[in-house]
Structure 1
Amino acid sequence: MEKDLYKVGEDYVEARIIESLSDLLLSLTLWKEGYTRNSAGKAFSAVKALMSAFIVTNEDKLINLAKDDQERKWIKKKAHVVPTHDMYGLAQLLRKIGIDIVNLVNYALDLHDYQYNGFEPGFSKYSKTEQVLEDLITVVKGTKKVIELYFAKYEIKEVSEKIDELLKELEEGE
């Protein structure tokens, strides 16, 4: 008999939201210290953790959208891990149930490309640091807003306030 090693539920969702907020804070801190590619990676990770929370809290609705048994099984067993190559498709599924984070996911994927490729033409859409910062701020604000809207009960006030302070500093420095 097969047994799950962990239960994906309320505690898991809370952990993913805390992870998302922590990654947003780390992203801004790394940016201020000049680690722009690591910063982009943390912003990407924040969106990925947020998606994981959405998938777990909406699993039944997503399973109902599945086209076949194989996809239903994948959603039940693996979707909450949010493989990078499936992020856009999962965002499209979430949009079908009324959670539209497709643009946020696109920005996060662009930042992910920058994290690994820097300004390399053909591999990253960015050619200037200012462009990266603009999208980074968009992802941080967007992720934070979505958390406040859907997962407010898990939000950590001190972390959110620190994120707001760092955002203000970065925006004033532009």
Structure 2
Amino acid sequence: MEKDLTRVDESYIKARVLEVIVDLILSIELWNRGLTRNSAGKAFNAVKALISALVLINMQKLIETVKDEKERKWLSKKGYSAPTHSIYGLSLQLKSIGIDVSDLINRALNLHDYQYNGFDPDFSRYRNKAEVKYDLEYVIDTVINILPKLFKDFWGKETEDLYKTLVKERETKV
């Protein structure tokens, strides 16, 4: 599912919400095909899209919490894209305005590391697939639970239909 994202506005947020759902559906499918590292990558991408949408929705509140002008400028120009190197910091800023997704971010970042490093003992936080599955299920279940609450103003028929597919996939697999 591709959406034209030339503008950063309500349609951008809606596209990001759809991306979250589609990426989680793909993550479940990939896991069940035995492609665990690809699955982990899709779960990470879903969380990254979620953070992107959350930052955009809460941009004004986030800017008000930042004291440094340089940081405020970065947040207003680039924060919505949720660069990988910045998503933990963005999660802390979101927490400061009452949206606590820091544990979700930590687990998604662990899955991102696993996507690239597998079970390499020098780089991976995981020793086996059961540990990966535990975090993958946590990420999927957490997003399923928070998505409708956080994005109710951006929820349409297409989103609802895909969301129902995601919930059904999660109930039967992983």
What TM-score comes out, normalization by structure 1 length? Answer: 0.91
Confirm or deny: 8 A CA contact 1:18 1:154 kept in the other structure. Answer: no
The match for 1:95 is 95
The match for 1:105 is 105
CA distance in 1, matches of 2:134, 2:148: 21
CA distance in 2, matches of 1:51, 1:28: 20
Number of matched residues?
Answer: 167
Structure 1: give runs of 5+ residues left out of the alignment.
none
The match for 1:170 is 173
CA distance in 1, matches of 2:45, 2:70: 27
Q: 2:173 is aligned with what amino acid?
A: L
Structure 2: give runs of 5+ residues left out of the alignment.
none
The match for 1:25 is 25
> Deviations 1:60-92 (Å, cap 9, x if unpaired)?
111111121111110110011111111110000
The match for 1:154 is 155
CA distance in 2, matches of 1:139, 1:132: 11
Confirm or deny: 8 A CA contact 1:43 1:108 kept in the other structure. Answer: yes
Confirm or deny: 8 A CA contact 1:17 1:50 kept in the other structure. Answer: yes
The root-mean-square deviation of aligned C-alpha atoms, in Å, is 1.5
The match for 1:132 is 132
CA distance in 2, matches of 1:109, 1:53: 18
How far does residue 52 in structure 1 lie from its aligned partner after superposition?
0.5
Percent identity of paired positions between Structure 1 and Structure 2: 45
What TM-score comes out, normalization by structure 2 length? Answer: 0.91
Confirm or deny: 8 A CA contact 2:144 2:167 kept in the other structure. Answer: no
How far does residue 122 in structure 1 lie from its aligned partner after superposition?
2.5
Confirm or deny: 8 A CA contact 2:40 2:115 kept in the other structure. Answer: yes
Runs of 4+ deviating beyond 4 Å: none
CA distance in 1, matches of 2:13, 2:160: 17
The worse-fitting range, judged by mean Cα deviation, of 128-137 and 91-100 is 128-137
Determine helix, strand or coil for the equivalent of 1:78: helix
